[in-house]
């Protein structure tokens, strides 16, 4: 897919993806700490977020009180990303800094595409406009049972607009991620996220070492 869309893989661009409660944020931080410990220059960021404007958009997107049209949702995620890639990601990668992001374009395909049902071709076209020449060289897909992930989030008192979606919706997200991983097996590494934090981190570090260090 990357070739046909003409995207360029920046070697130091790593994303973490997964369903709610899969532990992406924790694992992204552990991976960043590991690479920093090896003397690498690392920037850790997240979507939607990473800039002042993108964080404001995140507030609108995740507000459980907002009844949002799917097209509005798609465009807001892309607006947040447009600012994020231009203000933070491109400049850092251009300076040779490793960028680790907690979610990126695969989230849009999984949530707005496979789960909400927006045409995947529309999503990919928008992505080519918003993040041209930008695709992670490595993506960790933290995979686990949907109900278990939602339970973890509820225990952590996380209740945004997406946590209120049905289990069916989140199963579509998970299946969407699997589909994306089938299409790009070299880039996307599926990690069993039901294991302990330490074991998941060990697996991720093994892959980082084999590809990077
Ligand atoms: P999280 O970063 O705390 O997981 O919250 C972000 C939420 O936004 C999460 O439910 C997934 C959702 N999301 C999308 O639906 N599309 C996107 O493109 C991105 C980046 C996130």
Helix axes 70-84, 120-130, angle to 10 degrees: 30
For residue 45, the enclosing domain spans 13-211
Question: Which atom of ligand 1 approaches the CA of 78 most closely?
Answer: 18
Does 175 fall in a domain?
A: yes
Given this model, what pLDDT does residue 6 score? 45
Does 3 fall in a domain?
A: no
At CA 186, angle to CA 97 and CA 41, rounded to 5? 10
Does 8 fall in a domain?
A: no
Ligand 1 centroid to residue 91 C-alpha, Å = 23
Q: Sign of the CA dihedral 201, 206, 211, 213?
A: positive
Which residue's C-alpha comes closest to atom 19 of ligand 1?
A: 107
Q: How many residues does the chain have?
A: 213
For residue 63, give every residue at least 6 positions away whose Cβ sits within 8 Å of its Cβ, in sequence order, or none: 160, 161
Query: pLDDT per residue over 103-139, tens digit each?
Result: 999 999 999 999 999 999 999 999 999 999 899 999 9
Does 143 fall in a domain?
A: yes
Given this model, what pLDDT does residue 10 score? 63
Which residue's C-alpha comes closest to atom 9 of ligand 1?
A: 162
Does 7 fall in a domain?
A: no
**Sheet of strand 42-46: strand arrangement:** 42-46, 98-102, 13-18, 138-143, 188-192
For ligand 1, whether the C-beta of 139 sits within 6 Å is: no
pLDDT by position in tens, the chain (length 213): 333 344 555 679 999 999 999 999 999 999 999 999 999 999 999 999 999 999 999 999 999 888 899 999 999 999 999 999 999 999 999 999 999 999 999 999 999 999 999 999 999 999 999 999 899 999 999 999 999 999 998 888 777 888 889 999 999 999 999 999 999 999 999 999 999 999 999 999 999 998 865
Which residue's C-alpha comes closest to atom 16 of ligand 1?
A: 108
How many separate domains does the chain show? 1
For ligand 1, whether the C-beta of 48 sits within 6 Å is: yes
In this prediction the pTM is 0.94
Does 6 fall in a domain?
A: no
Does 105 fall in a domain?
A: yes
Question: What's 60's domain CATH number?
Answer: 3.40.50.300
Ligand 1 centroid to residue 39 C-alpha, Å = 30
Given this model, what pLDDT does residue 5 score? 43
For ligand 1, whether the C-beta of 77 sits within 6 Å is: yes
Question: Which atom of ligand 1 approaches the CA of 103 most closely?
Answer: 20
For ligand 1, whether the C-beta of 111 sits within 6 Å is: yes
Does 206 fall in a domain?
A: yes
């Amino acid at each position: 897919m990357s070739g046909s869309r003409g995207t360029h893989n920046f070697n130091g661009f790593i994303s973490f993806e997964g369903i709610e409660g899969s532990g992406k944020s924790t694992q992204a931080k552990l991976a960043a700490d590991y690479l920093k410990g090896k003397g690498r220059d690392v920037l850790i960021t997240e979507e939607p977020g990473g800039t002042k404007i993108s964080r404001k958009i995140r507030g609108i997107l995740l507000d459980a009180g907002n009844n949002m049209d799917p097209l509005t949702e798609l465009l807001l995620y892309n607006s947040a990303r447009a600012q994020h890639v231009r203000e933070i990601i491109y400049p850092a990668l251009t300076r040779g800094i490793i960028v680790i992001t907690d979610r990126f374009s695969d989230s849009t395909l999984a949530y707005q595409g496979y789960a909400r049902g927006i045409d995947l071709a529309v999503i990919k076209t928008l992505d080519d406009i918003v993040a041209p020449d930008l695709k992670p060289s490595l993506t960790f897909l933290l995979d686990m049972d949907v109900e278990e992930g939602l339970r973890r989030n509820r225990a952590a008192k996380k209740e945004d607009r997406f946590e209120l979606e049905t289990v069916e919706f989140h199963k579509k997200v998970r299946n969407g991620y699997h589909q994306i991983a089938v299409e790009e097996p070299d880039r996307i590494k599926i990690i069993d996220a039901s294991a302990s934090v330490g074991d998941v981190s060990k697996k991720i570090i093994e892959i980082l070492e084999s590809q990077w260090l």
